């Protein structure tokens, strides 16, 4: 599940900084062990001591030195978070570790089924934390969890704050008062999604008028959308509200943030994400983000479209990794389609850095992605074709080499035959010469004998 633990866990190192000024002291780990090592004998008694209990259900570490080092970093993040939350007066918050190999029986009893995950036990609820394992992010999540599931808007200043919250799903309802049965149903639904989804309510007619809400009516806001969707069928039961939210909890444009990064990454569409990188603080990034919002607004009713916006400033440790694995430059805005499993990707070619694509051009590109005309798998096929071509070339080269070798062998054989023939001819000539010499010698001897005989006759 956790594809970024190794890199992101390193952020706990910032806890070692100290500015030496009162009021700005960054917490440092004080060396006191607060994280409990849970087992089948102690988990019930330990967890009963706390109002909220955080469990890190981790993979078995074993003897691997890298895994051991990484686990030490993760454990230090938990220790620092436990130390910071130890100072809270209203709630007692505890932390514990469960080893998936040694403590599987405890995990089963607690209903934990996913290793390398953090679970928070609070008010008879089990909430999975899907953010990075960093002390600051985890503490912020716990703070949100401790707040009331429904925030009440009483005046125009709080209403302005509501409208400024645009990066998350939010709901707002208008009810008679806190004792209303319809508000109770709304509050019960909020507890089901707390703290991942923001719930607001008002009992003030003026605030309700500004929100254009009727009595017992609830509006649903997607991230980055100005216009809400009014949930049909008021007044609502808890189940009706829960069902509507579950059917609409994948926004058209959503932001990957440290506290929700794994939840969003796992919520892919057919194994793919459309990802947009843009720095909101950068002029080009801001311009590109505004174009994305316009596209999302125009396509908010398309259930197959969900764009994940990532601000590189939120994940500085991951920027070099993303640039390497996606082969892109994050100093300028980028948008592409990414395979979740293997990170294969295709990115929109934006040659002119001074001129962002228009909303229409971006919509055309997205439509090609949704239609399957742009697909990271196609790049895999091209790579396979290239590999096949290389193999064919290698085979051709091998065949040519074999032919050349055969020709060379034939030439060598011919040369050897010629040499043998020449040698045989030379030998025959030598033999003939020897025979001729022998014959000549014999003739000479015969002549000499005849001469001797003649001498004897005289």
Could you say which of 3.55.40.20, 3.40.30.10, 3.40.50.2000, 3.20.20.80 is the CATH number of the domain covering 253-374?
3.40.30.10
Domain ranges for the chain: 1-146, 149-249, 253-374, 393-458
The answer, yes or no, to whether residue 454 has pLDDT greater than 70, is no
Give exposure, 93-110, as e/b (b: 16+ Cβ within 10 Å). Answer: bbbbbbbeeebbebbeeb
Strand partners, 126: 121
Same fold, 1-146 and 253-374: yes
HEC profile for the chain? CCCCHHHHHHHHHHHHCCCCCCCCCCCCCCCCCCEEECCCCCHHHHHCCCCEEEEEEECCCCCCHHHHHHHHHHHHHHHHHHHHHCCCCCCCEEEEEEECCCCHHHHHHHCCCCCCEEEEEECCEEEEECCCCCHHHHHHHHHHHHCCCEEECCCHHHHHHHHHCCCCCEEEEECCCCCCHHHHHHHHHHHHHCCCCEEEEECCHHHHHHHCCCCCEEEEECCCCCCCEECCCCCCCHHHHHHHHHHCCCCCEEECCCCCHHHHHHCCECCEEEEEECCCCCHHHHHHHHHHHHHHHHCCCCCCCCEEEECHHHCCCCHHHHHHHHCCCCCCCEEEEEECCCCCEEECCCCCCCCCCCHHHHHHHHHHHHHCCCCHHHHHHHHHHHHHHHHHHHHHHHHHHHHHHHHHHHHHHHHHHHHHHHHHHHHHHHHHHHHHHHHHHHHHHHHHHHHHHHHHHC
More confident residue, 402 or 133: 133
- Tell me the C-alpha distance between 106 and 99, whole Å: 9
In the CATH hierarchy, which fold is given to the domain comprising 1-146? Glutaredoxin (3.40.30)
Q: Give the pLDDT confidence of 259-302 residue by residue, as tens digits.
A: 999 999 999 999 999 999 999 999 999 999 999 999 999 999 99
Is the predicted pLDDT of residue 38 greater than 50, yes or no?
A: yes
Of 25-34, 59-68, 358-367, minimum mean pLDDT range: 25-34
Report percent pLDDT > 70 for the chain: 77
Is 149-249 in CATH node 3.40.30.10?
A: yes
| Secondary structure, 3-state, 129-185 | ECCCCCHHHHHHHHHHHHCCCEEECCCHHHHHHHHHCCCCCEEEEECCCCCCHHHHH
- Reported as a single tens digit per residue, the pLDDT across 292-321 is 999 999 999 999 999 999 999 999 999 999
Mean pLDDT of all residues belonging to the chain: 84
Per-residue pLDDT for 77 more than 60?
Answer: yes
């Amino acid at each position: 599940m956790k594809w970024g633990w190794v890199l992101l866990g390193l952020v706990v190192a910032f806890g070692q900084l100290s500015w030496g000024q009162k009021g700005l002291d960054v917490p440092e780990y004080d060396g006191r062990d607060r994280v409990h090592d849970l087992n089948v004998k102690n988990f019930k008694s330990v967890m009963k001591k706390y109002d909220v209990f955080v469990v890190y259900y981790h993979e078995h570490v074993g003897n691997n030195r890298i895994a051991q080092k990484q686990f030490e970093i993760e454990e230090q993040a938990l220790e620092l978070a436990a130390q910071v939350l130890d100072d809270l007066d209203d709630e007692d918050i505890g932390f514990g570790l469960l080893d998936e190999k040694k403590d599987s029986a405890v995990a089963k009893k607690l209903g934990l089924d996913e290793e390398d995950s953090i679970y928070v036990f609070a008010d008879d609820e089990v909430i999975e934390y899907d953010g990075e394992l960093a002390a600051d992010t985890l503490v912020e999540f716990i703070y949100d969890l401790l707040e009331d599931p429904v925030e009440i808007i009483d005046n125009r200043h709080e209403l302005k704050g509501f409208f400024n919250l645009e990066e998350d799903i939010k709901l707002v309802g208008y009810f008679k008062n806190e004792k209303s049965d319809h508000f109770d149903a709304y509050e019960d639904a909020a507890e089901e999604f707390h703290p991942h989804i923001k719930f607001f309510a008002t009992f003030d007619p003026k605030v309700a008028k500004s929100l254009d809400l009727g009595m017992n009516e609830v509006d649903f806001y997607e991230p980055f959308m100005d216009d809400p969707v009014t949930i049909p069928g008021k007044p609502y039961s808890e189940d009706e509200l829960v069902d509507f939210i579950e059917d609409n909890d994948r926004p058209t444009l959503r932001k990957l943030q440290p506290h929700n990064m794994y939840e969003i990454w796992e919520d892919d569409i057919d194994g793919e994400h459309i990802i947009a990188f843009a720095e909101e603080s950068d002029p080009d990034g801001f311009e590109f983000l505004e174009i994305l919002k316009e596209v999302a607004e125009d396509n908010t009713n398309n259930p197959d479209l969900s764009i994940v916006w990532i601000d590189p400033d939120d994940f500085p440790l991951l920027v070099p990794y993303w640039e390497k694995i996606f082969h892109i430059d994050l100093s300028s805005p980028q948008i592409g389609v990414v395979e979740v499993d293997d990170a294969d990707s295709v990115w929109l070619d934006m040659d002119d850095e001074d001129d962002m694509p228009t909303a229409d051009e971006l919509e055309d590109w997205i439509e090609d992605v949704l239609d399957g005309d742009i697909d990271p798998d196609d790049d895999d096929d091209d790579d396979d074709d290239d590999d096949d071509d290389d193999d064919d070339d290698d085979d051709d080269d091998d065949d040519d080499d074999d032919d050349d070798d055969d020709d060379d062998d034939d030439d060598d054989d011919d040369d050897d035959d010629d040499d043998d023939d020449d040698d045989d001819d030379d030998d025959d000539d030598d033999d003939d010469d020897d025979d001729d010499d022998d014959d000549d010698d014999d003739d000479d001897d015969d002549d000499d004998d005849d001469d001797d005989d003649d001498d004897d006759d005289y």
